[in-house]
Homo-oligomer: A and B are copies of this chain.
Amino acid sequence: MRDEFRADLHIVSQLLVDMAEAVRAAMRQATRALLTADRKAAETVIAQDAEVDSIYRQVEERVCDLLARQAPVASDLRAVITALHVAADLERMGDLADHVAKTALRRHPSPAVPAELRKVFTEMAGVADRMAEKIGTVLSKPDADRAAELDRDDDAMDDLHRSLFAVLLSDDWPYGVETAIDATLLGRFYERFADHAVNAGQRVVYLITGEPTA
């Protein structure tokens, strides 16, 4: 029974690692679509979001099956419920990559991001990528210190988010309201991607240490 539980939980964990890799790849490709007005990249991200959703449903089914068959308690039960929460965060991260890709597509063949904002979005995407990678790493090999790094990454994301608004609100912003609206929403998509990565990381820390983070 115990071995069976471990084996079942391992399958669920592996699905979460797959999800983390998929949403990381999706956000990388969505960023490329955004910064190089790459239509094909945008379309690929949008098409592949269904795959992330499909893995999410598999996690839910596996978890329900596991709960029904094994009736875990204590830390085993906590691990299973955590998997469900982490899957929900990853699913949402996939949606946000999809939103970035759709924004790129809506403006195609024009770039959705003007030259003045390429640097900040490149940096936001870099932080997002690092965070998605860390989620994959700590899911493969639980490491509370590494999971806790996600908070610092999120601070970096928040700083970048503020600097984005500084550009949009500067007196010499030349692009008008439509480009500012796109940039506002895109900024929010990257920032929320980071928030979900932090949530997922906190869940993993809780699982490892038994202590909820603030």
**Complex alpha-carbon distance, A169 and B180, angstroms:** 11
Main secondary structure of the interface of A (DSSP, over half): helix
Q: Residues of B contacting A120 with CB < 8 Å?
A: none
Q: Residues of B contacting A50 with CB < 8 Å?
A: none
- Residue total for A at the interface (Cβ-Cβ under 8 A): 26
Residue among A77, A169, A181 facing the most chain B CB atoms (10 A cut-off): A181
Q: Are A169 and B178 in contact (CB under 8 A)?
A: yes
A88 within 8 A of B: yes
A117 within 8 A of B: no
Nearest B residue to A168 via CB reads B177
Q: Are B181 and A165 in contact (CB under 8 A)?
A: yes
A74 within 8 A of B: yes
Q: Residues of B contacting A176 with CB < 8 Å?
A: 177
Q: Are A173 and B177 in contact (CB under 8 A)?
A: yes
Q: Which of A63-71, A123-131, A148-156 contacts B (4 or more CB under 8 A)?
A: A63-71
The 7 closest A-B pairs by CB, nearest first: A71-B71, A68-B73, A177-B180, A184-B184, A181-B184, A68-B77, A169-B178
